[in-house]
């Protein structure tokens, strides 16, 4: 049942042999494809520009002649660029931007915070189940009980986010009525820290890593206070994203602030959750949680065409994650796309058969059918 979704990922990509057979760096950075736009220019950290592909197989598309993508790291700078008409369309992960612009008649905004399609992009803490002290389930339980997601969302959700302590959003068929995820309980957390400490030299010390970002810095500082209130020693380390990713896949971390799992079908997340992808030196299952029961459930979900069997399988996965605690959930990741009033049809794709496609999810959108109003 997940096969159509897989075709929209790397599995379905058609790679030009002329590019694969050319070992030069120029060939690797100048993609050849059959999409609506063709490569024009790329200046790393400044812009990536594409132009209309006159040979695109869908007649009449795309509508735009040129699209330029600009990486603007700071959320405030990105918002100001939209307000000053330096850019026309903006993707953001900041709930404050959703709050600032959602009711303005000068802008159009779409978010994926209320969709129940598949799985959303989730904000969470990833715990390394293979490296101490987070390899100790008692320590992971202590961290879960010490973490107050309601307080995190209250402080940093800007009135936009709601707590979600599940792999699936409210309303999803894959979400069990109660997955058993621990509720905030500081007394319980202190008890578990005291229980685990003798097995770790008498105290629990944890480093929490994240990428450099002002909002994220405040969030991990709040988590540091929560965990230290339970009796743990917590250090923080913000590192560049490339190093952060290397540490995730290489297992060189204890706790990491992360976001992941946006997918139209749960099976697309198999590689991130399966014990078969949790082995060194490079693990796509970043948490390295190797519960064989999860593999059994994942296999049931991906091999059955019966809807009820798939629902049961993925509900089981959610319950087992709440038991193993490789992830400490907070909320859905607050992705939004906002444009000025001249940008039309940026989240309303129509598929070749005439049906409506998934407009916007996890920060991903399609520019194929966008047009500009004079």
- At residue 186, the 3 state secondary structure works out as helix
Is it the case that residue 315 has pLDDT exceeding 70? Answer: yes
Which residues have a Cβ under 8 Å from the Cβ of 316 and sit 6 or more positions away? Answer: 293, 297, 300
CA distance 232 to 196: 11
Whole-number Å distance between alpha carbons of 127 and 117 = 26
Q: What is the pLDDT of residue 195?
A: 98
Task: Answer whether residue 17 shows pLDDT above 80.
Answer: yes
Task: Please name the residues in contact with 286: beta carbons below 8 A apart, sequence gap of 6 or more.
Answer: 126, 128, 248, 249, 251, 256, 258, 272
Question: The domain 122-332 belongs to what CATH superfamily?
Answer: Dipeptide-binding Protein; Domain 3 (3.10.105.10)
Q: Tell me: pLDDT of 95 over 70.
A: yes
**What digits encode the pLDDT tens for the residues 129-149?**
999 999 999 999 999 999 999
Average pLDDT of 31-44?
89
Residue with tokens 């969709």: 115
Q: What confidence tens digit (pLDDT) does each residue in 275-312 have? A: 999 998 999 999 999 999 999 999 999 999 899 999 99
The mean-pLDDT minimum among 21-30, 173-182, 229-238, 360-369 falls in: 21-30
- Whether the pLDDT of residue 27 is over 80: the answer is no
Check residue 358 and report its DSSP letter: P
Q: Is the pLDDT confidence value at 372 over 80?
A: yes
How high is the pLDDT of residue 116? Answer: 64
Specify the pLDDT at position 59: 92
Q: Is the dihedral of CA 54, 55, 60, 63 positive or negative?
A: negative
> Which stretch of 11-15, 47-51, 93-97, 151-155 has the lowest confidence by average pLDDT?
11-15
> Is the pLDDT reported for residue 248 higher than 80?
yes
Longest dimension (CA), the chain: 69
Residues ≥6 apart with Cβ < 8 Å to 347: 110, 337, 359, 360, 365
**At the topology level of CATH, where does 34-112+335-372 sit?**
D-Maltodextrin-Binding Protein; domain 2 (3.40.190)
- What is the domain partition of the chain in residue ranges? 34-112+335-372, 122-332
- For the ranges 137-146, 189-198, 294-303, 353-362, the lowest mean pLDDT is seen at 353-362
DSSP 12-47: G----HHHHT--SHHHHHS---SSSEEEEEEETTTE
**pLDDT over threshold 80, residue 352:** yes
Asked if domains 34-112+335-372 and 122-332 share a fold, the reply is no
Strand arrangement, sheet containing 107-111 = 89-92, 336-340, 107-111
pLDDT for position 360: 85
54, two tokens? 């006159």
Helices (H), the chain: 3-6, 17-20, 25-29, 75-83, 95-101, 137-146, 149-156, 186-196, 214-229, 241-250, 270-273, 292-303, 307-324
pTM of the entire predicted model = 0.91
DSSP 8-class letter at 276: G
Whether the predicted pLDDT of 194 surpasses 80:
yes
- State the pLDDT at residue 208: 98
* 53 pLDDT tier (thresholds 50, 70, 90): very high
Residue 25: pLDDT band by 50, 70, 90 thresholds? low
Closest CA to 113 of 147, 164, 179: 164
Can you tell me which residue has the tokens 């979900």?
Answer: 301
pLDDT of 26 strictly over 70: no
What is the average pLDDT score of the chain?
Answer: 93
Residues 163, 284 contacting (CB under 8 angstroms): no
Q: Confidence band (pLDDT; 50, 70, 90) for 9?
A: confident
């Amino acid at each position: 049942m997940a096969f159509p979704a897989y075709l929209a990922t790397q599995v379905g990509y058609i790679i030009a042999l002329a590019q694969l057979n050319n070992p030069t760096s120029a060939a690797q950075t100048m993609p050849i494809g059959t999409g609506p736009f063709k490569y024009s220019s790329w200046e790393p950290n400044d812009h990536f520009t594409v132009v209309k592909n006159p040979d695109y197989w869908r007649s009449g598309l795309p509508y735009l002649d040129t699209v330029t993508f600009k990486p603007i790291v700071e959320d405030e700078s990105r918002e100001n660029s939209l307000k000053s008409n330096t850019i026309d369309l903006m993707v953001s992960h900041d709930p404050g931007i959703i709050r600032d612009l959602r009711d303005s008649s000068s802008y159009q905004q779409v978010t994926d915070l209320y969709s129940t399609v598949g799985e959303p992009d989730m904000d969470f803490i990833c715990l390394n189940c293979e490296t101490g002290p987070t390899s100790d389930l008692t320590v992971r339980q202590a961290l879960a009980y010490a973490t107050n997601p309601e307080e995190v969302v209250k402080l940093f959700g800007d009135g936009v986010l709601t707590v979600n302590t599940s792999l699936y959003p409210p309303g999803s068929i894959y979400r069990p009525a109660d997955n058993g995820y621990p509720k905030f309980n500081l007394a319980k957390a202190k008890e578990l820290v005291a229980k685990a400490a003798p097995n770790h030299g008498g105290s629990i010390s944890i480093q929490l890593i994240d990428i450099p970002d002002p909002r994220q810095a405040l969030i991990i500082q709040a988590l540091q206070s929560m965990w230290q209130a339970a009796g743990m020693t917590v250090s923080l380390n913000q590192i560049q994203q490339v190093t952060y990713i290397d540490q995730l896949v290489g297992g060189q971390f204890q706790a990491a602030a992360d976001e992941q799992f946006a997918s139209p079908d749960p099976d697309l997340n198999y590689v991130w959750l399966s014990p078969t992808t949790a082995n060194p030196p490079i693990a796509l299952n970043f948490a390295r949680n190797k519960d064989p029961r999860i593999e059994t459930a994942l296999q049931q979900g991906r091999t059955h065409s019966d809807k009820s069997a798939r629902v049961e399988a993925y509900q089981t996965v959610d319950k087992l994650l709440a038991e193993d605690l490789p992830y400490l959930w907070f909320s859905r990741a607050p992705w939004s796309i906002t444009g000025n009033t001249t940008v039309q049809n940026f989240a309303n794709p129509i598929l070749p058969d005439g049906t409506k496609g998934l407009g916007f999810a996890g920060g991903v959108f399609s520019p194929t059918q966008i047009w500009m109003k004079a």
